[in-house]
């Protein structure tokens, strides 16, 4: 069995799995049936009105948009438009003649100091500044037609990059509005156990979610996947960073580790079966007895099943790149088929989470079926939870 991280994680060679005529307000018969029921229900709830009233509002908005489109095609000069809280379309008029045409058509016209075109140019300049130097502490910046400004939201203006960005923004005078004490923004993902995770050009699979006594959220995974405590990403976006690993190549090791989840991200309590079975929910981590049915989710071989063979297994993993062998203790063995990249993936028996993929034969190739013949080793989850003092997240 070979355990070079490059081989196991990337190549999978290692054993570790790792409008026409314009008119004013137009009467129309509103029909709730022409709108998506879920959208209509959500709109009615947010506005505190009936579904019929919500449909009438959508009809009114659509009618106003058609009217504006017709006017613009007829040459009426406008510079941006938005719906106000009442659902009325407010249109920036470029001149007095345009304002009169808009008003005659039943739309609310206004003249502005800046307008959408100017604000878009300012926004583009700020985008360029941000691409040159990432403005940590600046949550967002956007064209806000209602306030006729580019609105900059700040979570922390103490960093030099944030101050420099704000100086650039404020140079545009009243065309920019700065809002302080805003929340820091993060990507948000709910990731299913068994899904792919990437780090430093390598890949492994997601294990289980757990929390400490303070409620901080962690990913419990195979230690060799996060030996160097890397930043982990899911579908191209960061979601966690390794904090602890008991795996060290060339030393006696235990193949368990944990990664602290970034704010806003979480590990689902539903295991990814890659469409091969109903997705089970995690309801505990009671260890299955030897001989019990066991299934695993992993990014390379998907959903494969077999049985538990035994526990307290020690193995020697070898390195295909010529590095030192590594003895790993405390594993479970199974007849579940796995391959490179499945490392860290979730084992479950019924609704009880069992562990994370550690390794298997280097030449093993699963045949694509759920019950593909094979074998593998896994790090028992209950041992990892106990060692790190974590509580499994359950459905």
Tens of pLDDT, residues 341-357: 999 999 999 999 999 99
Give the SS3 label for residue 232.
strand
Q: Are the C-beta atoms of residues 268 and 192 closer than 8 Å to each other? A: yes
Q: What is the spatial distance between Cα 211 and Cα 34, in angstroms, rounded to a whole number?
A: 46
Tens of pLDDT, residues 181-202: 776 655 568 899 999 999 998 9
Q: What is the spatial distance between Cα 259 and Cα 212, in angstroms, rounded to a whole number?
A: 12
* pLDDT of 222 strictly over 70: yes
Catalytic residue among 63, 333, 343, 362: 343
Tens of pLDDT, residues 236-265: 899 999 999 999 988 889 999 999 999 889
Q: What is the pTM of this model?
A: 0.61
Instruction: Please give the DSSP secondary-structure letter assigned to residue 18.
Output: -
CA 237, 242, 245: angle at the middle one, nearest 5? 150
Catalytic residue among 79, 148, 255, 383: 255
Catalytic residue among 7, 224, 268, 358: 224
Is 343 among the residues known to form the active site?
Answer: yes
Locate the DSSP E strands across 145-235: 149-154, 176-179, 190-191, 196-199, 202-205, 208-211, 217-221, 231-234
Token pair 């303070």 in the structure block, residue: 214
Tens of pLDDT, residues 65-123: 999 999 999 999 999 999 988 889 999 999 999 999 999 999 999 999 999 999 999 99
- Written as six digits, the tokens of 92 are 């920036």
Tens of pLDDT, residues 120-135: 999 999 988 888 887 8
Going by pLDDT thresholds of 50, 70 and 90, the confidence category of residue 10 is: very low
Is 255 among the residues known to form the active site?
Answer: yes
């Amino acid at each position: 069995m070979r355990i070079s991280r490059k081989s196991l994680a990337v190549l999978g060679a290692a054993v570790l799995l790792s409008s026409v005529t314009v008119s004013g307000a137009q009467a129309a018969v509103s029909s709730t049936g022409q709108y998506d029921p879920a959208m209509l229900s959500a709109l009615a709830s947010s506005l505190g009105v009936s579904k019929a009233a919500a449909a009438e509002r959508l009809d009114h908005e659509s009618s106003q948009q058609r009217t504006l489109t017709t006017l613009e095609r007829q040459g009426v000069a406008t510079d941006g438009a938005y719906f106000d809280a009442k659902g009325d379309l407010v249109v920036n008029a470029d001149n007095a003649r345009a304002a009169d045409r808009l008003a005659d058509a039943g739309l609310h016209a206004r003249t502005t100091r800046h307008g959408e075109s100017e604000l878009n140019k300012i926004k583009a300049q700020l985008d360029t500044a941000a691409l040159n130097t990432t403005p940590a502490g600046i949550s967002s910046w956007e064209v806000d037609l209602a306030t006729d400004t580019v609105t900059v939201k700040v979570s922390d203006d103490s960093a030099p990059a944030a101050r420099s960005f704000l100086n650039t923004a404020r140079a545009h005078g009243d065309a920019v509005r700065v809002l302080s004490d805003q929340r820091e923004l993060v990507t948000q993902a709910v990731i299913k156990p068994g899904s792919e995770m990437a780090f430093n050009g390598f890949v492994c699979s997601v294990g289980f979610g757990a929390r400490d006594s303070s409620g901080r959220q962690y990913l419990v995974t195979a230690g060799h996947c996060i030996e160097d405590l890397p930043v982990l990403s899911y579908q191209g976006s960061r979601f966690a960073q390794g904090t602890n690993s008991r795996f060290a190549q060339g030393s006696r090791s235990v193949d368990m580790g944990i990664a602290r989840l970034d704010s806003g991200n979480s590990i689902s309590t539903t295991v990814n079966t890659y469409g091969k079975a109903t997705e089970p929910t995690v309801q505990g981590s009671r260890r299955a007895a030897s001989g019990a049915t066991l299934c695993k989710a992993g990014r390379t071989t998907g959903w494969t099943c077999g049985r538990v063979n035994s526990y307290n297994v020690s193995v020697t993993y070898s390195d295909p790149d010529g590095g030192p062998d590594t003895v790993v203790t405390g594993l479970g063995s199974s007849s579940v088929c796995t391959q490179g990249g499945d490392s860290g993936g979730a084992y479950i028996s019924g609704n009880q989470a069992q562990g994370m993929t550690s390794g298997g034969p280097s030449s093993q190739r699963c045949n694509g079926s759920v019950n593909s013949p094979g074998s593998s080793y896994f790090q028992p989850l209950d041992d990892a939870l106990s060692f790190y003092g974590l509580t499994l997240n359950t459905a």
